[in-house]
Every structure is written in C-alpha cells, then in structure tokens.
Structure 1
C-alpha cells in the first residue's frame, strides 16, 4: 500500500464529506437566492420532459440503491440472501436504472449543449456537472461486467466494508481497495469528488427535494376568518384547518 492509496481511500472521503455538509450549510445561509435548479423549461421544453423524468427516476433509484446496498451490514440481510444473490440483484437493477438514467442525462446534455437559447443562458458549471455525472454513470456501467466476473459477491463486500468504515470513523484497509480493478477505484474517487463539488453547483437543489417530504408531515395551520360583521365569538367556531 502506498501513501497515495491511504490518502485516496482513507482521507479524501472525509475531505469531500466535510465540504459537502459544511459547504451546503454555508451556501444556504449566505446565498439562498442561488439555491435552485435553474430550470430552463420556459426557454424550451422539448427534450426536457423525457430527459428530466428518465434522469431523475434513474438517479434516485441508483442513489438509494447505493445507500442501502453499501451501508446495510451483511448480518442484517444475510438471513434473506447471500452476498452472491445480492450482487446479482444489484447488477440487474443497477444496470437497468443506470441505462435509464444515462439516456435521460444524455438528452439533457444534448439539449443544453446544442440549443443556442439554453446554452447562452447556462452557467459554465451547469454543463460541467452534467458531464461529470455522465462520466460517473458510464464508469458505473463499466463495472457491471467486472461484478459479473466476481459473482461470489466478494467485491461487493469489500466496497460495503469500506463505506461502513468511513461512516463509522474506523480504519480503512486501503491496500485491499487499491487491488480492485480500475473501474471500481475510479467510480469511488469520482463519486466522492461529486460530493466535493456538490455545494458549488446546482446540485444543492437535491436538499430541497428531500426536505419537501417534511411538508406532508407538518401540522395543520389554523386560519380564522376576518370578515366584517362576524362576532369574535363566532370567529373561533368558524375556524378551518388548512395545509
């Protein structure tokens, strides 16, 4: 194991996650007017409907699939399936979701790069972050044949152990990760880099998407009528509860 491997797999993830969390908090506190997705739908809807729906459906499935797959201890799902079965399930489901996401993202990139009106109003980081996500998706799909070649689930267990050790602040075995095929190592490093760039791009609107779930759980708001001629005693009885 080299010192570079130790830094990449043992230190760099913490740098990225720290910038991801603190950077998002600082941007929300200081630049709330930039906290948006900068939709270009009003300029031209065209490919946006198909591209956005396919991309978001695929990326959400991949995000939660990675989240559950990497952070769920083997002892919890070991009663239902072995590591090999879980890996085959991840290959099939991840392959389909990745292809759907890649198709949608390609539409969005084509639209933003080759539509003059949208390209003129786009910030340089808009197209850059889309291209970065595209490369990450392509490399993720490249890992599927490698995963099929290790059908025993050993690689998946290595990656899950690394992610869980990072989350629980335990020592990482960088030597094992450094011995994995290049698509896995690239996918890890590039994925962490996306977290690093997250607060400086339009991706911050993802936080708002997750926060909107809280709207369904918030308490009712009491609204009282102020119509003329309504006695104060009747105002309370005429109250209604609205969202």
Structure 2
C-alpha cells in the first residue's frame, strides 16, 4: 500500500510538472517572445565557448537519448533481440558515463567562463545562476545514481521500477508502487529533474524548444555571379552588383555617357 507521500510525489507531482512546462512555455511564447533567446555572449569571449558549448550540447543530447532508451524501451524488447541484462548494463554504463562526464565538463567550462570573463559575468542574471545551479545538481545526482547502481547491488533495477513508472505516467495510470520501490538515489535524481523542468520555461533553456532544425531542410541560397568584364577603352569594372538603370540615368547615358546634375534654384 502506497503512502500519501508516495502518491503525492510519484502520482500527482509528475502531472503538476507537465502542466507547468506546457503552460509556462505557452505563456513565455505569448508574453515574452523578445526574451526567448540564449542571450549569446560570444561577442565577449569565444575561445572557451568554442570548447564548452559543443561539449555541453552534444553531451546533453547523448544523455537525453540514453534516458529515452532506458526509460521507454521495456526490458522484454531488449531480451527479444538477444541482448542480455549484463550486456545492456555494460553499454548503458559506458555510454551514460561518457555522456554525463562530457556534459559536466562542458557545463563546468561554461560556468568558469561566465565567472572569469568580466563582460560575461556582468551580463549574468540571478535567473542564470539559478539555472546553472539546477543543471549542476541534476547532473551530479545522475552521475551519482549511475555509480551507486553499479557498485551497490542492493539497489533495485531501475528497469523494473523507474522505467515502468515513467511509462505509466503517459497513459494516465501512474504506477506509484513501482517508483516507491526504487532506490533513494533514483528518487533524488528524479526530484531534481522535476525542479529543473519546472524552471525550464522561465530560463534561457527555453530556446531548446525552438532549435533551428529547419536549417537542415531549407533550400539552397542562390547568389548572382560577378563576372570580370571590361569596357572598351576603360579600366576593369570594379567588382560589385550590376547597376540598376533609372529614367534619369538612361537619359544621361543617351546624351553623352554620363548623367547631368542641375543646380537647384537658390530661391533669390
């Protein structure tokens, strides 16, 4: 029998988080479109940004893929394709640890850059500091969960606790008992993730919902060529766009090859 706390945490709180994420994103888009930005600071410093930003972004994408595989794909599916539980945990541990460390190192570089670069630090808001703090504690909790689940064999298998609970949320039948049986480290990690997602629409992280994926499918941009042609008896034409004719210009060319400018009356 699940306790009241378990019902509130694992049966009610997930839907509160979903409402905040969806409602907050809609509110932000409707009332703060000009603030829907990463507030890029590349102009102030780019050397550390070129290293830290790709590490963080590609690392967080790998972490996301790992969570999707671990939470959405049931154990019966991997058993059906012949992947043993031991092999699954080896793959999950190696790829998850690599992705988590890469994400953490990238985030550490971004925080160091923001603290040590004067103009970047001056542009850092309290909202940004809160966002970085929540990202750090969530990542640390995730890495700690991975390490604990490997060395502490008494921790229940998350594929039999956290994963069924996560899938049950989306069919509106939350399996509170499954999550209540999970290890403490998993529960702490999930609660930190809940807090991060609730803050997501109100921070610069919201730009992830408008990633420019359409750039991969947009048509080619056609440019006009610039031919190096010469006029008879003159120097080569300077590179540039072709001149656009006007009535005054065409009239001047017909009169002698150049346009005339008439002096405006002085009014005297």
Taking structure 1 as the reference length, the TM-score comes to: 0.82
- 1:178-205 CA distances to partner (integer Å, 9 max, x unpaired)? 3433221110111122111111000111
Written as runs of structure 1 = structure 2, the 5 A alignment for 1:41-56 is: 41-56=42-57
Q: Is the 8 A contact 2:60 2:99 kept in 1?
A: yes
Which structure shows the higher helix fraction? 1
In the other structure, the counterpart of 1:166 is 169
1:152–1:6: structure 2 CA closer, same or farther, 3 Å change rule? closer
Aligned residue-pair number = 223
* 2:214 matched residue in structure 1: 214
Aligned equivalents of 2:145 and 2:24: distance in 1? Answer: 30
Which residue does 2:91 correspond to in 1? 89
Per-residue CA shift, 1:102-144, capped at 9, x if unaligned?
1110111122223322111112111221121111111111112
Unaligned runs of 5+ in 2: 223-243, 246-268
Greater relative contact order structure (CA < 8 Å, 6+ sep) = 1
Give yes or no for the alignment of 1:20 onto 2:12. Answer: no
Give 1 or 2 for the bigger CA radius of gyration: 2
**Superposition pairs of residues 94-109 of structure 1, within 5 angstroms:** 94-109=96-111
Partner of 1:110: 112
Local SS of the residue matching 1:35: coil
Once the two structures are superposed, the pairs formed by residues 140-155 of structure 1 within 5 Å of their partners are 140-148=142-150, 149-150=152-153, 154-155=157-158
Partner of 2:66: 65
CA distance in structure 2 between the partners assigned to 1:37 and 1:186 by the alignment: 29
Gaps of 5+ in 1: 229-243
Matches of 1:76 and 1:175, distance apart in 2? 23
Query: Residues 167, 85 of structure 1: CA spacing in aligned structure 2 closer, same or farther, 3 A cutoff?
Result: farther
TM-score, structure 2 as length reference? 0.75
RMSD: 2.6
The verdict on how the C-alpha distance between 1:179 and 1:121 changes in structure 2, with shifts beyond 3 A counting, is same
Q: Give the C-alpha shift of residue 20 in structure 1.
A: 0.8
State whether residues 129 and 201 of structure 1, in contact with CA within 8 Å, keep that contact through their aligned partners in structure 2.
Answer: yes
In structure 2, C-alpha distance between the alignment counterparts of 1:86 and 1:152, rounded to whole Å? 17
